[in-house]
Structure 1
Amino acid sequence: MNLGLEVFLIGFVLFWIILFLLRKKLENKGFNIYPLFLMWRKSTRAQWFPNFSTSKFYRKFENIAIVLGIISMIGGIVLIYYTLTGLIFHPTTTTARLEPIIPGVTISISYLPYILLALGISVTLHELAHALSSTSNKINVRNGGFILIGIFPGAFVEPDEEEFMKSNLTSKIKIIAAGIAVNLILAGIFFPLATYLPPYLSQGILVESVIPHSAAYNSSISAGDIILSINGIRTTTFSQLSYALDKATNYSILLKTTNGSIITTHAYSASHFLGIYVTYAFPSYLLPILEFFTWMFIINFSLALLNGAPLVITDGGKIFTEILKKINLQYGEKISYGLQAIFLMSLIYAVMLSVST
């Protein structure tokens, strides 16, 4: 176990022990604390930004949100079963995985600040959309607050339950789908920033590791070196690197070494394979920004599909239930919960297979 993970685990355990010991005092301030779960609830304003939430712009957004909510619900179901069938029938070749984010286990601890920041922003905007749509559809908001599960933050708003149940199906779906739509829109915004922006900002190809006894290894290329060009062809993107390698078998490689020196080394590979694992090389000040963009996409896309999927406790589950209740007033709710239980068990099985294969 590395030092960073040890410090994180010690801090994590101490944090929750202190919170649990102080739970009686904190209860007077609206906190509810259980092992690895904290919730703070407070009565909030009944209406949220009424001028904006009743504007033509926001009303158009709500109509779009209904479509995006349905798309996310279907997309979530497809994601679960696409992953599940791939892991069952093609376990060795499928790339589809549904692995949980566990700092220090499935991802590096170094990503944690970006994840928490992206999650905090995404969940807050998600819940704000619920509150705005409640006001837009003339339903008061009674409570709001935040939760903490382990290390992961969350937020919530609670529309007046009686007013919500009396509202029509369209209003209900608008309120529920607004949060899903915000996450899907944010994913759409940050996808190009995370995918297409980095090549334009790259200063070269950073060598992350070198395969022993490969062409790169024999040419003394080391992890941390930056490939600036090959045979005079600039290499700031993966496509440029591939093009340069495919054009020849003898390579004159311009490198920026880990100590900042610019050198030229030579390599030969009849197979056009250098034997390196690479990523983009960015100025140090850009790395946090680009990492944040990446996690904003990952978090929002995951929230849109998994929260959009009908899984009993999700927004997609609420939409699914309201639609089936409208179709079959007597048995729609029972049918909905039965199907959602099947979807949820399928998700759990897909996650278990993702971790074990």
Structure 2
Amino acid sequence: MNISLYIFAIGFVIFWGLILAFRKKLEPKGFTVYPLFLMWKKSTRSLWFPRLASSKPFKIYEKIAMILGILAMIGGITMIYYVIFGLIFHPQSTTVRLEPIIPGVTISLSCLPYILLALGISVTLHELSHAVSATSNKINVKSGGFILLGIFPGAFVEPADEEFMTSSLPAKIKILAAGIAVNLILAGIFFPLAMFLPGYFSQGLVIEGVIPNSSAYNASIQAGDVILSVNGIRTNTFNSLTTALNQSTNYTIVLKAPNGSTIVKHAESTKHFLGVYVTYYFPPSVRPFLLFVTWMFIINFSLALFNAAPLIITDGGKIFTELLKKISSQNGEKMSMAIQAFLLMSLVYAIMLSISA
């Protein structure tokens, strides 16, 4: 465990220790406090942006959202089983994983501020879309608030229960799908930026880890070094590194050391495999923007797919239940809960496979 992870862990423990210590003072102000869970909730205005909610563009957006919500639901289910079957039958070639975000373990602590900022923006817009859609469908919003789960922020709005339950099926789906759709749209906006901007601004590939006894390990190449070129081929993207490695089995590698000096290493691999984990190396001036763009795509794509999947507590789960209730008013809800429980267990299994792969 490095020093920054120690500092983060100590700060995390102190923060939640203070929250729990002042629990009785926070609760009268609308807070609900449990270990690693903080929620602030209060009654809110009944109507949200009524002019926007009644506008023709928003009405069109709601119809599109219904389609996107169903497509995202199918996409979320497909993703879960794609990972499961891929890791069971083709573990070596399957690159898609479902790994939880654990600061200092599965992601670098340096990414955490950008993750939290992207998550805060994405969840707020998601819940705002629910609220405006509720107003659009003549349903009052009774309350709203914010959640902090560990270090991850969230937000929520609650339509009036009776009004929501007695509304039509299309109205319910519009309200539930509005949040899913905004995340899917944001993912679509940030996807091309996240795909093409990093390669454009990259000045090399920084090594995040070296596989023991690999070609890089035997050549004394270390984490923190930046690969500038291989056999004279500039390596500022993943594809350029793959191309350079595939053209030979003997490599002259130009590296930038953490102290800024340029060094040259020689390596050999008959399998065209260097044995390093790499990511883009950016100029300090553009790195914050590019990290934010990347995490805006990852967070919104993940929220869209998994919140749309029928997993009991998700918007997709609620949509799925309403659809089955329409098909079978007697057993629709029971059927929905059974199917969703199975899908939730499948998601847990996919995550376990991803971690152990």
Q: Structure 1 length normalisation: TM-score?
A: 0.88
Instruction: In structure 2, give the amino acid aligned to 1:187.
Output: A
Partner residue in 2 for 1:283: 283
Q: What amino acid does structure 1 have at the position aligned with 2:168? A: N
Superposition deviation, residue 155 in structure 1:
0.4
1:286-301 superposed matches below 5 A: 286-301=286-301
For the 8 Å contact 1:215–1:273, the answer to whether it is kept is no
Q: Name the % identity.
A: 66
AA matched with 2:166: K
> Which structure has the larger Rg?
1
Gaps spanning 5+ residues in structure 2: where? Answer: none
Instruction: Output the amino acid matched with 1:176.
Output: L
Gaps of 5+ in 1: none
Q: Return 323-332 or 97-106, whichever deviates more.
A: 97-106
Deviations 1:50-90 (A, max 9, x none): 11121111111111110110011111111222222333444
Give 1:326's aligned residue.
326
Structure 1 residues 48 and 250, CA, compared in 2 at 3 Å: closer, same or farther?
A: same
SS in 2 for 1:38: strand
Mapped partners of 1:342, 1:214: distance in 2: 41
Provide the residue aligned with 1:199 in structure 2.
Answer: 199
Deviates more, 1:130-139 or 1:85-94: 85-94
Deviates more, 1:201-210 or 1:138-147: 201-210
Q: 1:24 to 1:228 in 2, by over 3 A?
A: closer
Q: 1:261 and 1:163, CA in 2 relative to 1: closer, same or farther beyond 3 A?
A: same
- Map 1:150-169 → 2, pairs under 5 A: 150-169=150-169
Matches within 5 A, 1:206-217: 206-208=206-208
Q: Secondary structure at the residue paired with 2:138?
A: coil
Report the AA paired with residue 104 of structure 2: G
SS at 1:146's partner residue? strand
Partners in 2 of 1:26 and 1:71 — Cα distance? 41
Structural RMSD (CA): 2.8
Moved more, 234-243 or 302-311: 234-243
Question: Which is further off, 75-84 or 129-138?
Answer: 75-84
TM-score (norm 2): 0.88
Which residue of the partner structure matches residue 185 of structure 1?
185
228-237 or 100-109, which moves further after superposition? 228-237
**In the alignment, does 2:59 pair up with 1:59?**
yes
Structure-2 residue corresponding to 1:25 = 25
Partners of 2:113 and 2:332 lie apart in 1 by: 43
**Closer, same or farther in 2 for the Cα pair 1:252/1:187, shift >3 Å?**
same
Residues 207 and 222, structure 2, Cα contact 8 Å, conserved in 1:
yes
2: CA distance between counterparts of 1:272 and 1:83?
Answer: 27
SS at match of 2:105: coil
Count of matched residue positions in the alignment of Structure 1 and Structure 2: 356
**Residue 176 (structure 2) aligns with:** 176
For residue 115 of structure 1, report the CA deviation from its aligned partner: 1.6
Judge conservation of contact 2:230–2:252 (CA < 8 Å) in 1: yes
Instruction: Please identify, of 14-23 and 150-159, the stretch whose mean Cα deviation from structure 2 is larger.
Output: 14-23
Q: Which amino acid aligns with 1:275?
A: L
Greater Cα shift, 223-232 or 313-322: 223-232
Distance 2:35 2:252 in 1: 59
